[in-house]
Every structure is written in C-alpha cells, then in structure tokens.
Amino acid sequence: MAGIHSRTGWTTGLLAITVAAGVLAAPSTQAVTGDATANGQFAFTTKLDIGGGQRSCTGTLLNNQWIITAASCFADDPAQPQTLPAGAPKLKATATIGRTDLTGTAGAVRQIVDLVPRQDRDLVLAKLDAPVIGVRPLHPATTAPAQGEALKGAGYGRTKDIWVPGTLHTAAFTATQVNGTSVNIDGTAVCKGDTGAPAFRAVNGNFELAAVASTSWQGGCLGSDETRTGAVATRVDDINAWIRQAVAATLTPWKLQMLTTTSTGLFHSSRDSNGDWSVFGDVQQAAGSIGEVKVTADAAISGKNYVFAIGGDGHVYEGARNPNGTWVKFRDLTAETGALPGLTKIAATSAGSQVSLIALANGRIYHTIQDASGKWLKWGDVTASLGVLGNATQVTTAQTGDELQIGVVADKKAFHAVRHANGTWSAWGELKQLAGTLGPVTGMAFAGIGSDLQVVVTNATGGIQHSTRAANGTWSVFGDLSGVLGQDPVISIDAAAVDGEFQTAVVTADGHIKHTLRHANRQWDAADEPTGIPGTPTTVAITGSWN
C-alpha cells in the first residue's frame, strides 16, 4: 500500500463509502468484482439486507445459527464500528444463506435478532432467528494470514459492470501486510455490498475463514474512478475463544463425542449443538498409554463418555472422559470380562446406566454388559445362539427401547439380530433381503432413536446408504447418501443418536473425516469436516452425550 500517507484517514473515510448502499430503485441485492460462482459453491456466504434496502453487506455462516460480518454494516456511523451496541439490530436485518443465485429458492432466509460486536476491530457476530439446515458453514482459521499468501473471497457486492448483480461472485486476493487485528489484501476489487465478505484459504481440501472484508479503495468497481484495488480485512484467527463464548447462547446440553485413531495416536474431539468442533486432544496423554491402539468404541451415560480400545496386546481397555473434561485412566478389562484371543473389533452402546459391548474374535461374536455399579459380566458367545457368520469383519450395536440391536458384516454382506429384554436372541437376518439391494458391504453402523434403528452401510464402490428399522420390525428401502457424503471409498464408519437426531461420520481412504446429521424432519445437513486432526485418520467412533 505504498503511497498511502494517512492510514487512519483512508480507513475511516472509506468505511462509509463501502457500506452505505443507499435506497435503490431495484431490490438491494448487490453482488465482489470477479467471476460468478457455480450454483451452490461457497454457500456459506450470506447476503445481508439491512433496513429494507438501506444497506447491503455480505457475511459468513459460522455455524447453524450465527453469521460473522463487519460491525460497520450495522453501526449508525459506519466510520465508527466500535460504537455499535450489543443487542437487537436497530434496523430490520435479513440474511439469505446458501442462495448463490438470488433469483432461486435454495438455502434459507433468516432474520437477524441479536448482535455481539467485537470492540477492538470491525467485526460482529449476528444471531439468526432459527438454525440453518443443509448449508456447510465456514469455520475460523487458527493461524494468521502470511504476507504473500493467496486468499479467496466471495461477495454479493457491485461488480465492474453490474450495479445490482443477482449472483454471488468470487475474488482472488494476496495478503500484502499483516497487522495486529487486520490484514491488507490486494487483487480483485472489493465493492459496495462486499463489506463483511469472507476472505478464506484452502487447507487440505477444505476452506477456513482467514478474515472479514472491512474497507477498500474500490478500484475497478462500477461508478468508481479509483484505480487502487487494495482493501483491509479483519483477522479472525486470534479470537476463536471469544467466538465460542459469544455464540454459547444457542447451545443445548447435547454433544457429539468423537474418537479417531490416526497415524500418530488416539484423539478425541466433540461437536456442540451449534456445529462447532473442539480441538482434538491426545487421549493416551490424558488417560494413560496402552501402546498401539487398533480400534476404538465409545458410549455415553449423561455427560460421561466411556472409551473402549483394543490395545496392541489384544486386550480391551476402558477409560472415560468426565463432563468437566478430566479423564479416568485406562484399565484392562480382561480380568473382569475374560480373555478373547483373536479380538479384532468392538462396538459399544448404552441403555440407562448400563453399557453393552459387542466383540468380534476369531470369527465369533461376543457380548457383555457393565452394570450401574461398574461391574462387568463375562463375555457371552452370541455365535453359540445364532450360528456362525463366515468371514466376519465388522460389528456394530445400538439400543432401541428395551432391545439390543447388533449388526455384523460377513462375506461382504450385512446381517442383523436382536437381543430381547428377556435375554433371548432373534435369528440373523440379511439386510439385503430386508431393506433392498446392497452392493458388496464393507462397513456398517447402528444408532437407536427411540424404538427405531437407524442404519448406514458402506460398499466396495464407495457408496454410503441409509435405512431405518421401525419398532414393528419393518425396514425402509436403503437411500443413497452419496449426494451428502460423496463417493470416496470409506475405510471406517460409525453412527450415533444425538438429541433425537441421527449422526454419522466416516473416514475416507484419502484421510478425511466427514460428518453429517439427519434431522427429525428427515432432512440431511451438508457434510462437514473437523479440522486440525493430528496425523492421518484410520478409524472413527462417535456417540451422543448429554450434560
């Protein structure tokens, strides 16, 4: 930005120019100079209408009920964003999310009902009147932009030749100078209506929010004679703790707990009801080392997350994460449950104050229960009651009402059985016969919601399918989830019930964890991915907890 003699004067003077849209003859649906996006791309970008066309800005969906944008969009004097008070916006404000073509009907329209401004920078969090379903949010970065770094942007502001565009446009930026709370960017022009727009980076195939557009010279924008294209964006990488605290008002007591084994160890994260993931923590550092971890399972009672792992010695270990974040150390369960030579897989579920474990060892299926006092029964041989399934490779389990549901993948087929309340077992049933045609099955996961069993299976071609078994024993036809989770081959899958909603997570062959959830209205969320995973994931286990 050589040649700018008064940095303060430039920033203050251009805030009013950048934000104020005025009353337009056409609807206030302005769109950053750059290329129009493909339909649905960068759907986290939000179109803001403030005061029924008095101002037009852009924002970013942070989680299912909060967006982030520039405080100057809402301040009485845009040149003084720090004067914006917290609370309901002074003017009626509408957010259109997930609608890259504003003439369409995709995405959602929400009212903004509360503002939480940041006092040290041009930034505000805006609460929506209802959660947004089906749009993947953009999570904030945790590292600052670097000088010379290439960034992307997207906005609904004016372009070089269109006064009121109806589509989202993209931008290419370069970080030219990194400051304490901001970053100077140059490249594609930032125009009226783009204030608050995201500047983001690609990391391991995903995007993360690096900064939020604040002020610009507007060179190249329609109606401007300015030639300079530089702009200032507000950094977000250093305020993640503040963001979490500010958006806590919409949290429920429910969380998704996640375990993943990676190339570097065993790690834990949780996803709160806003859709935000916690930082991954090293489980063995907190709960004690058990050496190599082959596979894990987890279950929860209230807010306590019970963690089970098969160690390198082939034994089952139990640890737990308390609601306050402290850990109960791992202990070897062999003396209590008995040894299982050839143990390769485990699955866990809870019912009331009890935990059930299902195990696969030397091709046979075993079952045990931990009672409310923490005492374990000896392993019981399920195969002795139900018969042998050849070449078994996976097990899963879930509780539905007073019945324990178990699933086994054997000979690339999916099988299901039920343990009734009186301790008797039903016969094995093949899901291909029960719920429609499946390809060669590679993985399966169960979750119980009330008396219904939710099932997801993966197959050798990379597809993921979902079905439901009702309380009366009838099955729905499997539905394809490739539109949500993609077609990448899956090496691990698990499922959980969280606050009456079905959630599933997979590890793909290229080392990503993908997650989605099915709401009570049967609508699926767009897939999201936790970031900052230490190492390359190999397995995933999830459970829902309430605290």
Model pLDDT for residues 143-178, shown as the tens digit of each residue:
999 999 999 999 999 888 877 788 999 989 999 999
436 pLDDT band (50/70/90 cuts)? Answer: confident
The reported pLDDT for the residue numbered 491 is 96
Measured at the CA of 367, the angle between CA 365 and CA 368, to 5 degrees, comes to: 155
**Percentages helix, strand, coil for the chain, rounded to the nearest 5?**
10, 45, 45
36 pLDDT band (50/70/90 cuts)? Answer: low
Query: Does residue 506 surpass a pLDDT of 70?
Result: yes
Integer Cα distance of 435 and 20 in angstroms = 57
Which amino acid is residue 226, in one-letter code?
E
Q: Which DSSP symbol is given to 72?
A: G
Query: Does residue 20 surpass a pLDDT of 60?
Result: no
List the structure tokens of 389. Answer: 């399934």
CA distances to 23, 80, 111, 128 from 51, rounded to whole Å, are 10, 18, 12, 16
Beta strands at 206-216 and 198-203: parallel, antiparallel or unpaired: antiparallel
* pLDDT tens-digit map of 119-136: 999 999 999 999 999 999
Integer Cα distance of 10 and 545 in angstroms = 51
Q: What is the mean pLDDT of residues 313-322?
A: 97
Q: Among all chains, which residue has been given the structure tokens 């065993």?
A: 266
38 pLDDT band (50/70/90 cuts)? Answer: low
Please give the mean pLDDT across all residues of the chain. Answer: 90
Rounded to two decimals, the pTM is: 0.89
Point out the least confidently predicted range of 13-22, 367-376, 479-488. 13-22
Q: Domain map of the chain by residue range?
A: 7-245, 251-546
Question: Taking a C-beta distance cutoff of 8 angstroms, is the pair 139, 276 a contact?
Answer: yes
Integer Cα distance of 290 and 265 in angstroms = 11
C-alpha count within 13 angstroms, C-beta hemisphere, residue 198: 30
Q: Among all chains, which residue has been given the structure tokens 């009902």?
A: 113
Q: Among all chains, which residue has been given the structure tokens 């009121």?
A: 164
Beta bridge partners of 29: none
* pLDDT tens-digit map of 365-399: 999 999 999 999 999 999 999 999 999 999 999 99
Domain at 7-245, CATH homologous superfamily: Trypsin-like serine proteases (2.40.10.10)
Q: Does domain 251-546 have CATH number 2.120.10.70?
A: yes
List the structure tokens of 82. Answer: 């720090």
The reported pLDDT for the residue numbered 242 is 97
User: Across the chain, which distance is largest between two alpha carbons, in Å?
Assistant: 84
